[in-house]
Amino acid sequence: MSIEEKQKPQRNDRVTIRTVATHAGVSVAAVSKVMRNAYGVSDALRARVTDAIEALAYRPSRAARGLRGRSFTIGVLLIDIRNPFLPEVIAGVNGVLAPSHYQAMIGVSDARVQLETSLIESMIDYKMDGLILVAPRLPSEILAKFAVQIPIVAVGYHDASATAFDTVNADDQRGAEIAVEALLACGYRDIEMLSLGERQGHAVSVVRQREIGFRRAMQRGGLGSSPAISKIPIASPKREEAMRKFLSRKDRPRAVFCWSDLDAITLLSLAMEMGVRVPEDLAVIGYDNSPTAALGLVNLASIDQSGRELGQVATRALISRIEGRTASEHIFQIPSLVSRNSLTRSGNSTDRQ
Amino acid sequence: MSIEEKQKPQRNDRVTIRTVATHAGVSVAAVSKVMRNAYGVSDALRARVTDAIEALAYRPSRAARGLRGRSFTIGVLLIDIRNPFLPEVIAGVNGVLAPSHYQAMIGVSDARVQLETSLIESMIDYKMDGLILVAPRLPSEILAKFAVQIPIVAVGYHDASATAFDTVNADDQRGAEIAVEALLACGYRDIEMLSLGERQGHAVSVVRQREIGFRRAMQRGGLGSSPAISKIPIASPKREEAMRKFLSRKDRPRAVFCWSDLDAITLLSLAMEMGVRVPEDLAVIGYDNSPTAALGLVNLASIDQSGRELGQVATRALISRIEGRTASEHIFQIPSLVSRNSLTRSGNSTDRQ
DNA sequence: GACGAGTTGTAGAACGTTCTCCATATAACG
DNA sequence: CGTTATATGGAGAACGTTCTACAACTCGTC
């Protein structure tokens, strides 16, 4: 136990695998084996090596690891850090990763395809062990091409036919159905959906899925074969303009289902401003159950897709893929309704105003 | 220009620096020089090499780079991804980095010192070129120890005496002063601050700075030598409880300055619930000017510290440090007030209720 | 036309791991 | 006691860059 001084006169101060090896009196390869807990290591050897690692506070260089083998890092790609739903996903990922020896590194693509591509490439170049892409913008063929080089799990990306990578989703069709069913149960018949403007999102996007679910539930409720869906632009001046126009429409519906809380909350603000009472004049139901929706001031009913669970499930799927699974998996979570005052006065909170 | 086939029979399909070199008919070292635009490269050589890089769609391996030299990556450490102020900082960082050949990788520490340490170590082990720590929890001595190994810029961390690393801050003392001055200008005299519970944050934290500024402005305004500061716990059941107690206090002040929008917004919700009118019974001013504060439903006056600018400034500082600066810099931004209805009816939005 | 000063390109040793053999020691079995 | 399996440890070649030293070549300049 003489942890006196390094025996060989090393002038470099970094503790490498070699330092550990000489300190423990074993070979470099042995230390490597212990760390990766590979086959063919006796308990005695393992003990000696772990003691040395402890004593020297040795940390393997991630860069060097990546050059040859595993880097024990997984990359997470976020489309947008502003959406309050995404932090939940991260929390889920970190939760699963914490007890393992993996770590997450996050990149933010800001919804730009260019940046998204280059971040994915960077993560590959870092020899990361796997990727979790949250609501990626890239088409499925491109993702499949990347998936050849690195295990990929896509979250919030509906392509159940993908064979090269896994997907993890809340069932967005079902979520929209639940919203419509809730509105119907409150007695509303004149229902419209506020969806996302044309150019955003291809067929695989969550928005389109919610539209499909909306249509199906409306038809099933006997409310016409082509229920009304309004498209709201995403950029800021036009967005509010479109909502104001909607609110002041003569034939404004009695209830509205918004594709996302972000839109629903802005709608609530504008409604208050324009004297449209919620829910007396207009019932509103959002999607995501973001923390803001839960505020007493806002009190927005919303569909809850547990971001945390999505993150957890995606991480487990990724790890199993890293460890050898090749058949693709496509996992669905079932979302649920959180009722609040914007749906009906008997929501679950006290009255406003 | 015969980009026919690879000349040598390489069975490995990865394009490495060697592939580029043979394709361009030059040495490996030459290619490396061109990429790092190092000294001693003729225009002719540079052209040949860049052509080859283009033709082969070559991307240098980040892992290999990190092993020997620069990795052209900077690490960003976030204390908490839920705080809506942080995404702005990221946006600022990415904005500055986009045109350069650097890229950002983000880690989330969830305010756990343990995780914060291990993430910093990981980033060092990746041989990242520099670190931006946003509101780190670790004490200054520890940061200084890390700063020996890697350039560090701390954002939202008040330690102007640090010599080993840089700091970039909004002037939180001044921000609190501005808040108090605004309340005074509206004629309020009975002012209290809602701050963060005891155990959170050491002397260098932004919260303590805001307390200092609050006290100074109150004294300057002739409102006693030890103005009232209430501490609100951070965890959820106790937090609301403390706020309710505050709101129902007999000697409740006429105006309140909250250390953060997160607290101010919850306070507004509870006030509405308990029938305390804002601003007639209680004026409220927050800190951060988060997107939620700007909502018509919330309409919270707040101190704006441009997170985006903080991110930009921090990134520039980091790059200059990476490129050789050794003297430490401590940069201050001046925050500003955004007036809204929670401060006075003449805020800037339409009336509520 | 020899000599230094610059300029441009190259060879080859790091960097710190992993991982594929290979050598040895021990156990198992007839 | 030989033969064969099995378990354990080690040597040394990758991995894909950077970077130091140095060679070769081109100019002036004396």
DSSP A311-349: HHHHHHHHHHHHTT--S--EEEE--EEE--TTT-TTSSS
For residues B295 and B179, state if they share a domain: yes
Question: Both A223 and A280 in a single domain?
Answer: yes
CATH number at residue A326: 3.40.50.2300
Q: What is the DSSP string of A137-201?
A: -S-HHHHHHHHHHS-EEEES---TT-SSSEEEEE-HHHHHHHHHHHHHHTT---EEEEEE-TTS-
A343 part of a folded domain:
no
- Residue B234 binned pLDDT confidence (cut-offs 50, 70, 90): confident
Phi and psi, residue B264, nearest 5°: -60, -40
Q: For the ranges A4-13, A249-258, B253-262, which has the lowest average pLDDT? A: A4-13
CA of B342 to C1' of C19 (A): 65
Residues B225 and B290 in one domain: yes
Q: Are B350 and A61 a contacting pair at CB < 8 A?
A: no
> Domain check: are B179 and B164 in the same one?
no
What rounded mean pLDDT belongs to chain A? 89
Residues A229, A192: contact at Cβ < 8 Å?
A: yes
Distance (Å) of CA B171 to CA A21, B153, B178: 50, 16, 11
Shared domain check, B184 and B298: yes
The mean pLDDT of B163-185, rounded to a whole number, is 96
Mean pLDDT along residues B279-285: 96
Domain of residue A54, CATH code? 1.10.260.40
Write out which nucleotides of chain C lie closer than 7 A to a protein Cβ.
7-12, 14-20
Contacts of A294 (CB under 8 A, 6+ apart): A338, A340
With 60 as the cut, is the pLDDT of residue B201 above it? Answer: no
d(CA A146, CA A140): 10
Same domain, A187 and A290: yes
Tokens of A209: 């899925």
Q: Same domain, yes or no, for A158 and A228? A: no
Report yes or no on B1 lying in a domain.
no
Instruction: Report if residue B8 sits inside a domain.
Output: no
Per-residue confidence (pLDDT) for residue B31, from 0 to 100: 95
Please give the average per-residue pLDDT across B200-216, as a whole number: 83
**Least confident range of A284-298, B242-256, B337-351:** B337-351
Which residue would you say has higher pLDDT here, A110 or B178?
B178
From the list B63, B297, B350, the residue facing A125 with the nearest CB is B63
The answer to whether strand C lies under 7 Å from the CB of residue A12 is yes
Tell me whether residue A75 is in a domain. yes
* pLDDT value at B269 more than 70: yes
pLDDT for A348 equals 55
If asked whether residues A195 and A287 sit together in one domain, one would say yes
> What pLDDT score does B10 carry?
38
The chain-wide mean pLDDT, for chain B, equals: 89
**pLDDT band at A80; cut points 50, 70, 90:** confident
- Report the nucleotide nearest the CA of residue B33, measured to C1': D18
Is residue B10, in this structure, part of any structural domain at all? Answer: no
pLDDT computed for residue B198 by the predictor = 65
User: Residue A281 corresponds to which amino acid?
Assistant: D
3 state DSSP class of B278: coil
Q: How far apart are the first and last CA of chain B?
A: 73
User: For chain B, what is the domain count?
Assistant: 3
Euclidean distance between CA atoms B211 and B158, whole angstroms: 13
Integer distance in angstroms from CA B41 to C1' D28? 22
Dist CA A82 CA B87 (whole Å): 6
Nucleotide nearest to B58 (CA to C1'): D16
What distance in Å separates the CA atoms of residue B144 and residue A343, rounded to the nearest whole number? Answer: 54
Q: Which range of residues forms the domain containing residue B265? A: 172-305
Residue B153: per-residue pLDDT: 97
B12 assigned to some structural domain: no
DSSP readout, A219-261? HHTTS-SS--EEEE-SSHHHHHHHHHHHHT-TT--SEEEESSH
Q: In chain B, what's the furthest Cα-to-Cα distance? A: 87
Of A105, A122, A297, the CB nearest to B297: A297
pLDDT at A74 > cutoff 60: yes
The CA–C1' separation of B46 and D30, in angstroms, is: 36
Question: Which residues, by CB, come closer than 7 Å to strand D?
Answer: A 26-30, 39-42, 44-45, 67-68; B 12, 14, 16-18, 28-29, 32-33, 35-36, 38, 58-61, 64-65, 67-70
Give residue B264's pLDDT: 96
Per-residue pLDDT band for B6 (boundaries 50, 70, 90) equals very low
Q: Are B128 and B71 in contact (CB under 8 A)?
A: yes
Residues B237 and B124 in one domain: no
In a domain, A66, yes or no: no
pLDDT at A203: 61
Pair B54, B98 in one domain? no
Please indicate, yes or no, if residue A150 is contained in any of the structural domains: yes
- CA–CA distance, B243 with B263 (Å, rounded to integer): 9
Angle made by CA atoms A255, A259, A261, in degrees to the nearest 5: 90
Same domain, A131 and A195: no
Residues B208, B195: Cα–Cα separation, whole Å: 9
Which residues of A are less than 8 Å from B350 in CB distance?
273
H or E element: which one contains B263? helix B261-274
Tell me the per-residue pLDDT of B237-253, one tens digit each, with 9 for 90 and over: 899 999 999 999 999 99
Residue A44 and residue A83 in one domain: no
